[in-house]
Amino acid sequence: MAERDLIERLDDAIEAILAGRDAELAGLALADPELATLLMIAGDLHGMPDPSFRSKLKAEVIPQMENEMTTMTAEEVKTDFPSIRPYLLVPDADGLIAFLQETLDAELLGRYPTPEGKVMHAALRVGDSLIEMGEPGGDFKPMAMALHIYLDDVDGAYSRALAAGATSTHPLTDQAYGDREGGVKDRWGNVWYFATHQENVTEEELQLRFAGTGGKPRKEPGVGPRPAGYHTVTPFLHARGARSLITFLENAFGAKVEHVTEMGGREVAHAGVRIGDSMIELGEAHGESQPMPAAIHLFVDDVDASYERALRAGATSVEPPADKPYGERGAFVIDPFENQWFIATAK
Amino acid sequence: MDRETNDRERLLIEAAQADPSRFAELYESHFDRVWAFVIRRVRERAAAQDVTSEVFHKALKNLKSYEIRDVPFAAWLYRIAANAVNDHFNRTAREQSEHQRIVESEAPHDIEHIERRASLFRCVERLPADQRRVLVMRFGEERSIREVASAIGKSEGAVKQLQWRGLQSLRAQMGENHG
């Protein structure tokens, strides 16, 4: 029997199991020995526990579950992850966790459920970086953001992402600026720039290449997969008024501009600024590249001072600094470009 | 259970006896067998959740009086579960005869079947993420193919294929576990 027929017949039989129509099953199972063994397993799976019940009961039975979260989150804080951690706010965060596991071999370090079993907070390791996420609610609205991921096997990640349901925003290409890069959009709307750095290109050479008079992109031995100073994961802020955003980052968080590429001598096509041990990239939003703000968990030395500076630089306060039960003192502000900043100091 | 596992479980029990907030790991490692025991008798999901909840509340409440040298921890939990199931059927007397029939006809092979089923539930956790999500939504949440497809953003055909592959992976895993 063709596999497609078997798949359909299996599903018919599973419908019968789930509806408690046991009599129908015997006939369906007898029709094919392959089906018979799978249906025995399906029969045993019928009545498997609902994960949301499991986590809800755990939270209800075990006292001070919050303590466990405190400990584990403090562990994340204590480890040497970079101080900038993108915070994805998406419905069905479990789906995004699965997407990152499949595409980037992400390691789930912690998943803290709400009483309903949804993801209140989760943390995944991707290369040397941490990506955090939670499901929207209250002050936290869903938002899609753009992330730059530097990795060795960029071709593999790109094709795995497409296989996992993402759509291509641009195919893999050896770019003038020295990266082999392609982009995908996941089904939550986040844009992922997958890249491997393969050539160090000076700003002068880059402008020549843009003008069509420079050299061809090539793979330089011993270079990559990341440019100097970059971690695996870097948030990419597409902003209208990128130059003003740079000024905000300088004033609020003491950002240092490391490189700026201009188009036509005016607009910021791409800039890299350093905050603490991490980079943020940004570029002017126009045409197809519409503004795309980000939510970022930013660790600083003194959250109270950073919060005050951010407000003076034009940010709006959502939550003033307060001691959190998960091992940090944190504040929440939104900048004039709609980026959300969860500023924190580890306690 | 090998000696190393035994020692580890003893440490976990002692830690939880001293501080109930340390019960989490014991809960995780025994949840599936308690659930499998209860759902086999109390077929209705909402009632099975109530009984399972009662089992774990009682287990934690009585943990201090548990003595590892008397009985293995799993057997202790099964005893609490059996009592909770009996209480449940005493409350719903009409179903009593059905319960008796199950207990009398299947008791000798019952625990073996429950352990196999609990181990199957644990195997689901080790499946590739997309297969796991489909099987959990289908069997744990009893959602239709259409609902699963919409929740995970794939076609109904793709969901059926993941369901097929997931069951095949489980068959392979269970084959490895049981030789």
pLDDT tens-place string over residues A318-345:
889 988 877 788 999 999 999 999 999 9
pLDDT at residue A284, as a whole number: 93
Q: By mean pLDDT, which of A73-87, A205-219, B10-24, B30-44 is the weakest?
A: A73-87
- Could you please state the CATH topology (level 3) that the domain comprising B126-179 is classified under: Arc Repressor Mutant, subunit A (1.10.10)
How many Cβ pairs closer than 8 A exist between chain A and B? 121
Interchain pair B174, A41: CB under 8 A:
yes
- State the Cα angle at A101 between A100 and A104, rounded to 5°: 65
Nearest CA in chain A to B114: A44
Q: Tell me how far apart the alpha carbons of residues A102 and A106 are, in angstroms, rounded to a whole number.
A: 8
Q: Which position has the higher pLDDT, A139 or B107?
A: A139
Judged by a CB distance cut-off of 8 A, whether residue B152 touches chain A is yes
Q: Tell me how far apart the alpha carbons of residues B92 and B99 are, in angstroms, rounded to a whole number.
A: 11
Q: Tell me how far apart the alpha carbons of residues A126 and A157 are, in angstroms, rounded to a whole number.
A: 12
pLDDT at residue A1, as a whole number: 60
Q: How far is CA A201 from the centre of its chain?
A: 28
Interchain pair B170, A41: CB under 8 A:
yes
Q: Tell me how far apart the alpha carbons of residues B63 and B134 are, in angstroms, rounded to a whole number.
A: 36
**Rounded average pLDDT over B163-167:** 96
Contacts of A285 (CB under 8 A, 6+ apart): A238, A239, A240, A242, A291, A292
- Could you please state the CATH topology (level 3) that the domain comprising B1-108 is classified under: Rna Polymerase Sigma Factor; Chain: A (1.10.1740)
Q: What is the 3-state secondary structure (H, E, C) of B57-79?
A: HHHHHHHHHCCCCCCCHHHHHHH
Closest among B100, B97, B161 to B135, alpha carbons compared: B161
Interchain pair A49, B121: CB under 8 A:
yes
Q: At CB < 8 Å, which residues of chain A contact B?
A: 3, 6-8, 10-11, 14, 18, 37-38, 41-42, 44-54, 57-58, 60-65, 67-68, 92, 94-95, 97-98, 101-102, 164-165, 187
- State the Cα angle at B35 between B51 and A55, rounded to 5°: 90
* Ranges of CATH 1.10.10.10 domains, chain B: 126-179
Residue-wise pLDDT tens digits, A276-325:
999 999 999 987 778 999 999 999 999 999 999 999 999 988 889 988 87
CA dihedral B114, B120, B121, B123 (to 10 degrees): 150
Interchain pair A14, B21: CB under 8 A:
no
Closest among A78, A93, A161 to A124, alpha carbons compared: A93
pLDDT over threshold 80, residue A257: yes
For residue B87, the tally of other CB atoms under 10 A from its CB is 12
The pTM of this model reads 0.57
Q: Which position has the higher pLDDT, A347 or A208?
A: A208
Interchain pair B174, A7: CB under 8 A:
no
pLDDT at residue B62, as a whole number: 93
Q: Peptide bond preceding A225: is omega within 30 degrees of 0, i.e. cis? A: yes
Q: Does any domain span residue A74?
A: yes
pLDDT at residue B100, as a whole number: 56
Q: Does any domain span residue A64?
A: no
Contacts of A88 (CB under 8 A, 6+ apart): A96, A131, A132, A133, A134, A145, A188, A190, A295
pLDDT at residue A309, as a whole number: 94
Amino acid in position A183: G
Exposure string for B27-48, b = 16+ CB within 10 A, e = fewer: bebbbbbbbbbbbbbbeebebb
pLDDT at residue B77, as a whole number: 94
* B window 120-149, beta carbon within 8 A of A: 120-121, 124, 128-130, 132-133, 135-136, 138-142, 145
Query: Do residues A215 and A125 touch, judged by C-beta distance below 8 A?
Result: no
In angstroms, how far is the first alpha carbon of chain A from the final one?
63
- The whole-angstrom distance between A326's CA and the closest CA on chain B is 16
Interchain pair B21, A63: CB under 8 A:
yes
Q: Tell me how far apart the alpha carbons of residues A190 and A89 are, in angstroms, rounded to a whole number.
A: 10
Q: How far is CA A124 from the centre of its chain?
A: 9
pLDDT over threshold 70, residue B33: yes
- β partners of residue A112: A121
Nearest Cβ partner for A64 among B21, B56, B153: B21
- Rounded to the nearest integer, the mean pLDDT of chain B is 85
Q: What percent of chain A has pLDDT over 70?
A: 91
Judged by a CB distance cut-off of 8 A, whether residue B167 touches chain A is yes
- The whole-angstrom distance between B18's CA and the closest CA on chain A is 13
Q: What is the CATH number of the domain that holds A260?
A: 3.10.180.10
Contacts of A286 (CB under 8 A, 6+ apart): A240, A267
pLDDT over threshold 90, residue A28: no
* Ranges of CATH 1.10.1740.10 domains, chain B: 1-108
pLDDT at residue B30, as a whole number: 94
Give the pLDDT band of residue A69 (cuts 50, 70, 90).
very low
Interchain pair A48, B121: CB under 8 A:
yes
DSSP designation for B22: G
Query: Do residues A242 and A271 touch, judged by C-beta distance below 8 A?
Result: yes
Query: Do residues A300 and A276 touch, judged by C-beta distance below 8 A?
Result: yes
Q: Does any domain span residue A26?
A: no
Interchain pair A62, B43: CB under 8 A:
no
Contacts of A35 (CB under 8 A, 6+ apart): A6, A9, A10, A13, A28, A29
- β partners of residue A284: A239
Q: Tell me how far apart the alpha carbons of residues A104 and A194 are, in angstroms, rounded to a whole number.
A: 10
Count of structural domains, chain A: 1
Interchain pair A38, B135: CB under 8 A:
no
Per the document, the length of chain B is: 179
pLDDT over threshold 60, residue B41: yes
The residue segments making up the domain with residue A209 are 69-296
* Chain A contact set for B57 (CB, 8 A): 61
* R_g of chain A, CA atoms, integer Å: 24
- Rounded to the nearest integer, the mean pLDDT of chain A is 86
Query: Do residues A238 and A189 touch, judged by C-beta distance below 8 A?
Result: no
DSSP designation for B155: -
* Chain A contact set for B39 (CB, 8 A): 47, 49
- The whole-angstrom distance between A193's CA and the closest CA on chain B is 21
pLDDT at residue A78, as a whole number: 46
Provide the ipTM: 0.89
Interchain pair A7, B20: CB under 8 A:
no
Per the document, the length of chain A is: 347
